[in-house]
A and B are shown apart, each in its own frame.
Chain A
Amino acid sequence: MANPRGELVKQALLVGFVAVCVLLVALNWITTP
């Protein structure tokens, strides 16, 4: 049985992962001399 709430949490985690990584990449670029 599909669990819509569980699926939503998984998708939120995935979006959070990508967002954190993009933020880290951007910070790395900004702080590069």
Chain B
Amino acid sequence: MDQAGAPQLPRVAARSTRTRATRRRRLAGAALILAGAAWFYGYLRSGADILPLVGAVLPHAASIERRGDIFAGRASDGSIVGYAAVGSAPGYGGPIEMLVGVSPSGTVTAARVVTEGETPGFFRLFAARDFFGQYGGAPITRPLQLGRDLDGVSGATLSAEGIAEGVRRAVRLVAHEALGTPLPEEPRPVRFGVPEIVLSLLLLVGFAGHRVATAKARHALRWGSMLTGMIVIGFIYTAPLTIAHVVALACGYWPDWHNNLYWYLLVGGVFLGAAWQVRNPYCSWCCPFGAFQECLGRLTNAPTYRPAPLHNALKWVQRGLALVAVLLGVAMRRPGIATYEPYQALFSLQGTGFQWTLLVVISLASLLVRRPFCSYLCPIDPVVDLIGESRRYIKETWRSWRTHAANS
């Protein structure tokens, strides 16, 4: 019995591995189909009716009429009291549409948000700093740019830039179409500053760090990279990779590369890296939240704890959570809403009560086990896994197709 049974064991194990791989692939395929359906649903229900909102930016208008892309507000005696238009520009979580009113003499009457996909809580920041109040009475000939004649909002830079750009586009449209005084073209220099340089270096270290020969040097390099990531990507710029990037990518909300090179470096570096090399240069090397958990773990020498069957089961919870986040974000066309990572709470001290509680729970758990959020909750890990799985599937299919073609 033993003699007969022993040689069969590897075959049984191999069959079981194959079955698991097939099941994983079917589930990955089902997840992609669901995401596609959610995308289509979101596509069908997107779009907002602007006309009822125009009165808010043209307060003296008794009636509003539409002239192509422009809205004209008239007083009760029929005279024009202002024009309004919508300008759209990419923010943190997709396009931000701004409705802007302009008086016939060329000053901004008011600006308001029509649609946005930012993280909840961002707009509380803008209201608290009276960001939109800066536009009231501003001549349209002013630059209307952050850092020049407008104050930004720290911790929400991308959103503020999206708003400012959206307003400028709306103003240009009114100037060109309604006032007949087109504004000169804006210079659009490519922005490559400190964040882009630091991120490029960190991703390079992430790609090449495993080649460092000695374990000690590798360890030192990884800690250097992690701490730099935590301080620079986390606390200074608050621009870590989140599921909102994945949703924005899927929705086609790709920001203007001239002033968002950072976005492309981050998304391209991590996901193309995973697709091209099956190497993730981000999570273990420079993710600021991963570094934060490891720092806490160092205080207590928290061990890696992955009890085999339970770990695999909990991984499916993580994948399910990531899938729900993507489905929500894609179906509602709001990348910011999908984000459940408590990064804003930690790095910008902004968050809802639930996000703060989540941060506290994760911080406590980090004292007991190594990187609990990364192991069981982070939505990026399943996305990188899915890319790796798709890559393997494509390679295997290609190889078997070539073998089949060569044999026939």
Contacts and interface: CB of A to CB of B under 8 A. Distances in A.
Interface in B293-317: 305, 307, 310, 314, 317
A24 B120 CA distance: 15
Most B CB atoms within 10 A — which of A7, A25, A27? A25
Contacts of A10: 305, 307
Contacts of A24: 354-355, 357-358, 361
B372 interface: yes
B362 interface: yes
Most A CB atoms within 10 A — which of B354, B368, B377? B354
B276 to A, nearest CB: 31
A14 B310 contact: yes
B352 A31 contact: yes
**Chain A interface residue count: which class?**
10 to 19
Contacts of A17: 361, 365, 372, 376
Contact of B310 (A15, A25, A29): A15
A4 to B, nearest CB: 12
B358 A28 contact: yes
Nearest to B377: A21
B38 to A, nearest CB: 14
A31 B358 CA distance: 15
A11 B306 CA distance: 9
Given A28-B340, A28-B358, A33-B120, A11 B307 contact: yes
A33 to B, nearest CB: 7
**Interface SS of A by simple majority:** helix
Interface in A1-33: 7, 10-11, 13-15, 17-18, 20-22, 24-25, 27-29, 31-33
Contacts of A15: 310, 314
Contact of A28 (B307, B317, B355, B377): B355
Contacts of B305: 10, 14
B358 A21 contact: yes
Contacts of B369: 14
A15 B373 CA distance: 13
Contacts, number: 57
A22 to B, nearest CB: 6
Given A11-B307, A11-B310, A18 B376 contact: yes
B104 to A, nearest CB: 36
A7 B307 contact: yes
Contact of B354 (A13, A31, A33): A31
Contacts of A21: 358, 361-362, 373, 376-377
B340 A14 contact: no
B358 A25 contact: yes
Interface string B262-301: 0000000000000000000000000000000000000000
A29 B341 CA distance: 12
Nearest to B341: A25
Contacts of A20: 361
B246 to A, nearest CB: 16
B337 A29 contact: yes
Given A11-B307, A24-B357, A24-B358, A29 B340 contact: yes
Nearest to A19: B317
Interface of A: 7, 10-11, 13-15, 17-18, 20-22, 24-25, 27-29, 31-33
Interface of B: 120, 305, 307, 310, 314, 317, 321, 328, 337, 340, 352, 354-355, 357-358, 361-362, 365, 368-369, 372-373, 376-377
The 6 A-B pairs with the shortest beta carbon distances in the complex, nearest first, are A28-B354, A25-B340, A24-B358, A32-B120, A24-B354, A27-B354
